[in-house]
């Protein structure tokens, strides 16, 4: 296993061991770090240590993994969930000391933000490479859009200072189509963005479904290191 993967595994496993309790309604994220949290949740659940736990996945990919782990998979509309979750564990593409983050490297930011905002608590799980000083200049900010709005939105996002690229994937000709049937525009900026301000600005543009900026939402970050240790970070508030 590579050093970065050891960090992802440490963060995902440790967060589950510390935070996931019997009877919880748990939102589970998408990606290679969330993968380890789902594996650990499955292991504890099958061992009878998490009776009554139900999970809500944030993508088709996570739903398939949760089912293969034997977890009790629900939706936000399931009666025992009733639109409210106790905890949401997920990776991030980048996060700052204030725990603002970019998500959507796996094109799941719409479901991820819905699950996040339905949860009492959001905890980031990430390896060391994801901790940054500022957002917006390195890892692209993904925006899920209605396909009809691709060109008008490209121009409006450029006017906000972004370089805009339509996301293409692998194993299919043409652009990435999300689990919800939409397209993704990836934005990079010359200067760091104010996460909350840019999130609000982009959300107002017609044709935008959701942006992968998550401002002021995370309560904790589990930062996994390649030696298998993990730091638990709280948001810095200056
Ligand atoms: C998916 C996400 C992921 O959480 C994010 O891309 C981090 O992924 P990974 O843990 O594989 O680095 O937002 O939409």
Atom of ligand 1 nearest to the CA of 90: 4
Task: Tell me if 30 CB under 6 Å of ligand 1.
Answer: yes
Atom 4 (ligand 1): residue with closest C-alpha? Answer: 91
Strands 25-28 and 87-90, sheet pairing:
parallel
Q: Determine which helix (DSSP H) or strand (DSSP E) holds 32, and give its type and residue range.
A: none
Does residue 122 register a pLDDT over 90? yes
Q: Confidence band (pLDDT; 50, 70, 90) for 138?
A: very high
Sheet with 141-145, side-by-side order of all strands: 162-166, 183-189, 141-145, 208-211
Residue ranges of domains in the chain: 3-132+215-233, 141-209
Q: Confidence band (pLDDT; 50, 70, 90) for 61?
A: very high
Does residue 1 register a pLDDT over 90? no
Atom 1 (ligand 1): residue with closest C-alpha? Answer: 106
> What spacing in Å lies between the alpha carbon of 148 and ligand 1's midpoint?
26
pTM for the whole thing? 0.97
Atom 6 (ligand 1): residue with closest C-alpha? Answer: 105
Q: Determine which helix (DSSP H) or strand (DSSP E) holds 188, and give its type and residue range.
A: strand 183-189
Q: Could you confirm whether 112 is annotated as catalytic?
A: yes
Mean pLDDT (the chain) is 97
Atom of ligand 1 nearest to the CA of 8: 10
Beta bridge partners of 73: 55
Q: Confidence band (pLDDT; 50, 70, 90) for 237?
A: confident
**Strand, coil or helix: 109:** helix
Q: Which CATH number fits domain 3-132+215-233: 3.40.50.10540, 1.10.10.1100, 3.90.1150.10, 3.40.50.1360?
A: 3.40.50.1360
Please tell me the predicted confidence (pLDDT) of residue 148: 98
Does residue 238 register a pLDDT over 80? no
**Of these residues, 94, 112, 144, 199, which one is catalytic?**
112
Beta carbons of 191 and 161 less than 8 angstroms apart: yes
**For the segment 144-203, what is each residue's pLDDT rounded down to a tens digit?**
999 999 999 999 999 999 999 999 999 999 999 999 999 999 999 999 999 999 999 999
Please tell me the predicted confidence (pLDDT) of residue 124: 98
Q: Confidence band (pLDDT; 50, 70, 90) for 22?
A: very high
> What spacing in Å lies between the alpha carbon of 111 and ligand 1's midpoint?
13
Q: What is the mean pLDDT of residues 34-55?
A: 98
What's the CATH number for 141-209?
3.30.70.260
Angle between helices 34-46 and 3-19 (to 10 degrees): 50
Atom of ligand 1 nearest to the CA of 34: 10
Task: Tell me if 12 CB under 6 Å of ligand 1.
Answer: no
Q: What is the mean pLDDT of residues 26-43?
A: 98
């Amino acid at each position: 296993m590579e050093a970065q993967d050891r960090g992802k595994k440490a963060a995902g496993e440790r967060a589950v061991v510390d935070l996931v309790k019997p009877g919880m309604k748990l939102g589970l994220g998408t990606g290679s770090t969330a993968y380890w949290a789902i594996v650990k949740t499955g292991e504890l659940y099958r061992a009878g240590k998490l009776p009554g736990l139900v999970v809500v996945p944030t993508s088709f990919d996570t739903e398939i993994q949760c089912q293969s782990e034997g977890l009790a998979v629900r939706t936000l509309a399931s009666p025992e969930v009733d639109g409210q979750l106790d905890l949401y564990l997920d990776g991030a593409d980048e996060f700052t000391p204030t725990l603002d983050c970019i998500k959507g490297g796996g094109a799941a930011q719409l479901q991820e933000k819905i699950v996040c905002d339905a949860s009492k608590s959001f905890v980031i799980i990430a390896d060391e490479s994801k901790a940054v000083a500022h957002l917006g200049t390195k890892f692209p900010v993904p925006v899920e859009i209605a396909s009809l709005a691709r060109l008008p939105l490209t121009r409006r996002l450029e006017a906000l200072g972004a370089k805009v690229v339509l996301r293409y994937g692998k194993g299919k000709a043409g652009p990435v189509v999300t689990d919800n049937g939409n397209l993704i525009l990836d934005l990079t900026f010359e200067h760091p963005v104010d996460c909350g301000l840019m999130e609000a600005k982009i959300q107002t543009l017609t044709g935008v479904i959701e942006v992968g900026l998550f401002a002021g939402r995370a309560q904790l970050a589990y930062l996994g290191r390649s030696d298998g240790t993990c730091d638990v970070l709280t948001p810095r508030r200056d």
